[in-house]
Structure 1
Amino acid sequence: MSSNSTYILAIESSCDDTSAAVLENNKVLSNVVARQEVHEQYGGVVPELASRAHQQNIVPVVDIAIKKAGITKQDLSAIAFTQGPGLMGSLLVGGSFAKSLSLALDIPLVAVNHMHAHILCHFIDEAGFDKPTFPFLALTISGGHTQIVQVNSFFDLKVLGETTDDAVGEAFDKSAKILGFPYPGGPLIDKYAKEGNPKAFAFTKPKVDGLNFSFSGLKTQILYFIQKQVKENPNFIEENKADICASIQHTIINILMDKLKLAVKQTGIKQIAIGGGVSANSGIRQTLKDAETKYKWKCFVPKFEYTTDNAAMIGIVGYYRFKEEIFADSSVVSKARIEF
């Protein structure tokens, strides 16, 4: 254990995953995630059940993270936690725990923006993964967010465009629900899309000005299309499952790529980093890989475990904020909505 090391305990509880991580400087020593299966039967996250599960999970998850890291709580330099955005009840559990522990250990408290963490996860020191250089464009795509952000430095971030209604993750999950897939359905669309023809069915892309996105119209279009086809042929979904999924995924990826191309044109920045749960989608990852050759971009795709909600990404922001001594005190409040 190095004396000039900074040890950050990070806590993430923005939605339905309880996670704790320990970082030594920008290296992850442990990253523990407790998933909540309870929501699957309801077809979506139930906020009240999520916060209750966080209360049950947080102590064992933090304990395991510290033990796995091979340190003791006395070695910790600071505690970082997700301040927002997210579900209020879930955020309060993580925030209250972080405040209490920082007071008990008399070490600094660091409040972190969850979306900031999805972007900065690229700066975790991970073998085989390059780090972007400033400035770069970040495409953050998750169940709750779709944004294009210009990242000028660790703390200078400017949102260039975002969704005006549904997020891209919702478009995937709700399309999956229309097809009768269980929750969460986005990964299933990705799975079946691999075997289908992406041009089998054409869906129109929404016309949205500038770098903003809209997915609610596409979702409605898919619903009406499926209803019409099923009326004519009750077995339509089963017989065309792969083609439907491939066509939906192809349309969504095209919407994202059109906006990215426009952002590159407007800013002249050709470094693209993606983050958020939907960045685990294999179709999006492959399209970005192809764009490196096609458009001479440099694309950065995070390690799988840092795409979904996890505490390691909270820890990396915590580390850079700790270095700048950007601390919070016990009056800091959790926020369901929060800007950079």
Structure 2
Amino acid sequence: MYHVRLLHIARSRPLPHRLPLPPPRPPSRRFTVLALESSADDTCAAVVTEDREILSNIVVNQQASLEQYGGIHPYVALHAHQRNMPVVVQRALRDAGLTVNEIDGVAFTRGPGIAGCLSVCGNAARTLAAALSKPLVGVHHMQAHALTPFLTSPPDQLPQYPFLTLLVSGGHTLLLLATSPTSFRILAATLDEAVGNAYDKVAKLLRIPYEGKAAGAAIERLCASEGEGAEIPMPRPIRGRLAFSYTGLHSAVERFLHARKGEVDERTKVGIARSFQKAAVGQLEDKLVLGMRQCAKEGLRVRCLVVSGGVASNQYLRDRLRACLDRESPDKHVSLAFPPPSLCTDNAAMIAWASMHRFLAGETDEYSLESRPVWSLEDLEREEAGPSRS
């Protein structure tokens, strides 16, 4: 009965949202963050310091299932994250040469993303932080992409505010105006599907082997192959409007293949892939020009374009955007910032860096913090401007 009563008492008391934090670290020690990411199809863990050193960055992807299903299968992705998360955390700590007790804070992707997938990194981060009495910060995934160049660029080439940021991935296509690390205005978003998702679907329609890479890389590789293929007509959706639409592009490919009962030779495949890639990137150029002109009307001098997300690793995209900026602003140079290809796709190093300013300011979250599958980047400034949660 005594043990039963103790159990009853323990259950009747509310759990604290935050456990006592450890003593402050010595002034000479760099603040070090362990970050976790599992918002879509990559399971990630990284260790990053306040002086921009990436001690480890582990990414386990799901390319085999992406190729099988033509994109992310939420149920399959969830179970892969559950298998992989303990492994990537262990590897991140081992590669960083640190024990978990030497970590100063734990960060994770709070949202947006696939609900089940987000729950894996969220539950792991909350449990680690609570068990070790470490501070916790939940990060907006798209903010992390936008701020990655501040982690990876040379000190004399850091983006200057205000800047435009183009976030292009399998789940997002956004053109944003950034005026501070937490202030973002959405200039254009997709009305249907993201550009990366369209790449996934076209790669599946054309039966292009991924060869261990993403769909975008597979299409770019096919486009760069030798030989000429006749291009096919592609739509230019919603001209003159600050919005993206990619459903029409992959539908045009689907209709072309359907008319031929799916039977096309390799030369024709090359022509289709080039037509799609040209139209997909062309739409990004069109909306970028509209966004720059909108900023000019408002008296804002855009000094830099930051491009991130999985599609940003595409070299064809990089070359086209550089040429686009030079045409639109021939007299005033607009710099173009891309993270290294390995940090364009989802990773936890960017999550760690996006959390760093909050850790150093003592603005941490409660252990009960919930994930947010739907979360507008425009809400970030208002939410972070609230009362301190340390």
TM-score, normalising length from structure 2?
0.81
Q: Could you tell me how far 1:146 is from its partner in structure 2?
A: 0.3
- Structure 1, 50-59 or 155-164: larger mean CA deviation: 50-59
Query: What do residues 193-252 of structure 1 show as CA deviations (whole Å, max 9, x unaligned)?
Result: 123669833312012563111111222222212323x25xx7534232222211111111
For residues 186 and 228 of structure 2, the distance between their equivalents in structure 1, rounded to whole angstroms, comes to 34
Residue 158 of structure 2 corresponds to residue 131 of structure 1: yes
Give the conservation status (yes or no) of the 8 Å contact 1:16–1:45: yes
- Aligned match of 1:210: 241
Check 1:245–1:128 CA distance in 2 against 1; reply closer, same or farther (3 A cut). Answer: farther
- Aligned match of 1:314: 351
Residue 224 of structure 2 corresponds to residue 194 of structure 1: yes
Indicate the percent of aligned positions where both proteins have the same amino acid. Answer: 36
- What letter matches 1:243 in structure 2? G
**Gaps (5+ residues) in structure 2?**
1-25, 297-301, 378-390
- Aligned match of 1:67: 94
Which structure would you say has the larger Rg?
2
Q: Could you tell me how far 1:18 is from its partner in structure 2?
A: 1.0
Residue 279 of structure 2 corresponds to residue 279 of structure 1: no
- What letter matches 2:77 in structure 1? A
- Aligned match of 2:56: 30
Check 1:254–1:199 CA distance in 2 against 1; reply closer, same or farther (3 A cut). Answer: farther
For residues 170 and 88 of structure 2, the distance between their equivalents in structure 1, rounded to whole angstroms, comes to 24
Matched ranges for 1:174-185 at <5 A: 174-182=201-209, 184-185=214-215
- Aligned match of 2:181: 154
- Structure 1, 246-255 or 290-299: larger mean CA deviation: 290-299
Match of 2:157, SS state, is coil
Q: Could you tell me how far 1:124 is from its partner in structure 2?
A: 0.7
Give the conservation status (yes or no) of the 8 Å contact 2:34–2:107: yes
Matched ranges for 1:1-340 at <5 A: 3-25=28-50, 26-37=52-63, 39=65, 40-126=67-153, 130-182=157-209, 184-195=214-225, 200-207=231-238, 210-228=241-259, 230=260, 236-268=264-296, 269-294=302-327, 295=329, 296-340=333-377
For residues 130 and 318 of structure 2, the distance between their equivalents in structure 1, rounded to whole angstroms, comes to 42
Give the conservation status (yes or no) of the 8 Å contact 1:22–1:29: yes
Q: Could you tell me how far 1:38 is from its partner in structure 2?
A: 5.0
For residues 320 and 156 of structure 2, the distance between their equivalents in structure 1, rounded to whole angstroms, comes to 18
- Structure 1, 290-299 or 173-182: larger mean CA deviation: 290-299
Match of 2:182, SS state, is coil
Give the conservation status (yes or no) of the 8 Å contact 2:57–2:92: yes
For residues 156 and 233 of structure 2, the distance between their equivalents in structure 1, rounded to whole angstroms, comes to 36
For residues 19 and 11 of structure 1, the distance between their equivalents in structure 2, rounded to whole angstroms, comes to 6
- What letter matches 2:361 in structure 1? E
Q: Could you tell me how far 1:68 is from its partner in structure 2?
A: 1.2
Query: What do residues 254-293 of structure 1 show as CA deviations (whole Å, max 9, x unaligned)?
Result: 1100100111111132411101011111210111233354
Q: Could you tell me how far 1:28 is from its partner in structure 2?
A: 1.0
Question: Cα RMSD over matched residues?
Answer: 2.2
Check 1:246–1:146 CA distance in 2 against 1; reply closer, same or farther (3 A cut). Answer: same
Query: What do residues 13-72 of structure 1 show as CA deviations (whole Å, max 9, x unaligned)?
Result: 111211110011122111011223551333332222222222222122112111211222
Q: Report how many aligned residue pairs link the two structures.
A: 337
For residues 212 and 194 of structure 1, the distance between their equivalents in structure 2, rounded to whole angstroms, comes to 29
Match of 2:253, SS state, is helix
For residues 269 and 360 of structure 2, the distance between their equivalents in structure 1, rounded to whole angstroms, comes to 51
For residues 71 and 326 of structure 2, the distance between their equivalents in structure 1, rounded to whole angstroms, comes to 38
Q: Could you tell me how far 1:99 is from its partner in structure 2?
A: 0.6
- Structure 1, 45-54 or 178-187: larger mean CA deviation: 178-187
For residues 241 and 58 of structure 1, the distance between their equivalents in structure 2, rounded to whole angstroms, comes to 38
Query: What do residues 149-175 of structure 1 show as CA deviations (whole Å, max 9, x unaligned)?
Result: 111011111111100101001111112
Match of 2:121, SS state, is helix
For residues 342 and 267 of structure 2, the distance between their equivalents in structure 1, rounded to whole angstroms, comes to 34
Check 1:55–1:191 CA distance in 2 against 1; reply closer, same or farther (3 A cut). Answer: same
Give the conservation status (yes or no) of the 8 Å contact 1:129–1:302: no
